[in-house]
Amino acid sequence: MNIVYGKNSVLGLLNNEPEKINKIAILKTVKSDKIEEIINICKTIKVRYEFLDKQRMDSYGRDLNHQGVIAVIEEYKYADVSEIEDNDKSLIIVLDQITDPHNLGAIIRSAAGCGVQYIIIPERNSCGVNETVLKVASGNASKVKIIKVTNINNTVTFLKSKGYWIVGTDMENGSEFTSYKPNSKTALVMGSEGEGIRRLVKDNCDDFVYIPLQNNVESLNVSVAAGIIMFNLSEKINKN
């Protein structure tokens, strides 16, 4: 069982993927305009909902900041790498060892916002799509296909065979992201904040970009950096 919790996240799910909802649980004592909106949408599109007391709501997770509403959904289904289409213009995001679900959720949300179709993550040493990821993504996880692979480096090689130019991020090497001219088919590789991109994956990149920082700031949160770079690349790819 997976859940999505929080008013905005549940609203996003109702508006984008209502078919994935098994039921919605609402805290009996909570009242707000958004809760009323959720109830009205459920009535309109015939999604099952029920009112629960605090004890039963807490049974889904005592520490969840559910804001009085939880959607119980089917298990998340990952896409397969074979589903990647041979588009003339495309930006794919490859995440190497991103372990924080808040970062993954934020990256998914940004990727959906700039039209990215695929995000690739490794099976090991990486966060998968869980309740926190879905909440942070705010109902946008359905707009991006997330692919889980056993070996990122082999997948990068596969992307190259499909005509993708592999662009990694490196604070010490490469081009400033604002001046970089991407290939029409580009895969952007983002590594973890602590270690960055692993060496073997880095060796397989074709180019590198970086974000120039001021005031002696050493680095940005990976989800912030990913958002900045992917929107810039996406705009350039779509203009070409």
Q: Residue 76's pLDDT is what? A: 85
CA 191 → CA 15, 108, 195, distances in Å? 32, 15, 7
d(CA 221, CA 104): 11
Per-residue pLDDT tens digits for 84-130 = 988 889 999 999 999 999 999 999 999 999 999 999 999 998 999 98
List Cα–Cα distances, 204 to 66, 106, 184, 226, in angstroms: 42, 26, 19, 19
Cα separation, 134 vs 139, in Å, equals 7
pLDDT of 49-59, one tens digit each? 999 999 999 88
Torsion of CA 155, 160, 164, 167, to 10 degrees: 70
Distance in angstroms (rounded) separating the CA atoms of residues 195 and 228: 20
What's the pLDDT band for 1 if we cut at 50, 70, 90?
A: low
- Among 9, 3, 56, smallest CA distance to 29 is for 56
pTM of the model: 0.83
Tell me the C-alpha distance between 78 and 63, whole Å: 27
Per-residue pLDDT of 173-229, as tens digits, reads: 789 999 999 999 999 999 987 778 999 999 999 999 999 999 988 888 999 999 999
